[in-house]
Chain A
Amino acid sequence: MATKEQILDYLQEVFDPEVPVLSVVDLGIVRKIEIDAEGTHITITPTYTGCPAMNVIEEDIRAKMKEKGISSFDIKTILSPAWTTDWISEEGKQKLKDYGIAPPEKSSPDKGLLSNHAKVLKCPRCGSMNTEMKSFFGSTACKSLYVCNDCKEPFDYFKCL
């Protein structure tokens, strides 16, 4: 029977279909792995309630477990505590940056509730601070759209949640 550490290693090979450089472990959505007489129990939590990737992620985990010969396992989804971008690992943040997505800045609420003052972010390509937010909502629910005024490249920001 596989150990917890092995299961975790296997899960490192399951990637977020929308940000394919991050594994489900990097992303912080794997909350718990338990192994008992009945098998392996994996607990995950959704990033966004409407995230269309969640079903795919669950299927991918299933496929990975089967591939690794783990036959008796179940996947449980929990809502609480609610996922936060603070759970993205440091390694994960670096991978995001290398992929061209500005990683979430530490700790949640970015701005005042009713005002829309965007954070000042570093361009993940050229490092310039001369960037501006174009839209709160980017190519997926978890991202905002920014543009760098120096290198002129648009980039995604993984927004804090």
Chain B
Amino acid sequence: MSDTKAVNKALFDYLLWLGDNSLILGHRLSEWCGHGPILEEDIAITNIALDLIGLSRLYYTYAGELEGKGRSEDDLAYLRDVMDFKNSILAEQLNGDFANTIMRQFLFTAFSYHLQNAMLTSTNEQLRAIAEKAIKETTYHLRHCSDWIIRLGDGTEESHKRVQDAVDNLWMLTDDLFEPMESDKLLIAEKIAPEMGAIRKQWDATIKQVLDEATIKTPEPSYMMKSGRKGIHTEHLGFLLAEMQFMQRAYPGAKW
């Protein structure tokens, strides 16, 4: 048995990573509110944003309890700076056109789906309960974006090109999703968190299956940026936080 304190610290970091991924991507999606290409899609994207933000609340609340310093979900979301955020750099990327948003969503959601599936057997009761809850929603999200990738990829020449461009542009950020921390080893040993290798294989298969059906070429392996979990982000995250955290920065402690 590893010592509990070290495991708890590792789990705290792991929860922040999960929560940050969910919050940052959820916030990005919320930027589509009122700008969706069609009304139904505007509603769909904002619904998914809501699910993601809701999920981040569960991770943050648990992280705060585990840390035991009295930090709430709001403290963790609004009172940390760029370098403290551990989300994947994929999640923070700009929305771009609709094809780019949907591709970012698909690459992330396929990852999230397989990760949550693996966490259904975590030895940690709370992580398991969150996964049990989240997997149902994530299944709907995955269907939604897979469907769009296929519809647009196997659509018109223009839509095909946009989807292919999107995956070509985002591909270099995908390894970052799987980048483990040294401290994850403690969690894996305790069977709290799954090994990334297996998740990666499942992700590869899902991505290939959908891209093939969409007549989109899966990009060749190339240079990969991997730094999100270490707190090294692209320039976009700072701007996102400046907007998302504005209220708490301008009016510290403001409440609804």
Contact = CB atoms under 8 A, between A and B. Distances in A.
Contacts of A1: none
Main secondary structure of the interface of A (DSSP, over half): loop
A49 B43 contact: no
Interface string B25-51: 000000000000000110110011111
Contacts, number: 91
Nearest to A161: B136
B132 to A, nearest CB: 5
B143 A113 contact: yes
B248 interface: no
A69 interface: no
Contact of B50 (A52, A81, A139): A52
B244 interface: no
Nearest to A141: B47
Interface in A47-91: 48-52, 78-84
Interface residues of B, number: 35
Contacts of B160: none
Contact of A135 (B44, B58, B128, B134): B44
Given A49-B57, A50-B54, A136 B143 contact: yes
B132 A48 contact: no
Interface in B183-229: 206, 209-210
A145 interface: yes
Interface residues of A, number: 31
A137 B43 contact: yes
A80 B129 contact: yes
A107 interface: no
B53 interface: yes
Contact of B210 (A49, A114, A134, A145): A114
Given A113-B143, A116-B147, A137-B144, A80 B133 contact: yes
Contacts of A138: 43
B161 to A, nearest CB: 23
Interface of B: 40-41, 43-44, 47-55, 57-58, 125-126, 128-130, 132-134, 136-137, 139-140, 142-144, 146-147, 206, 209-210
Interface of A: 46, 48-52, 78-84, 108-109, 111, 113-116, 134-141, 145, 159, 161
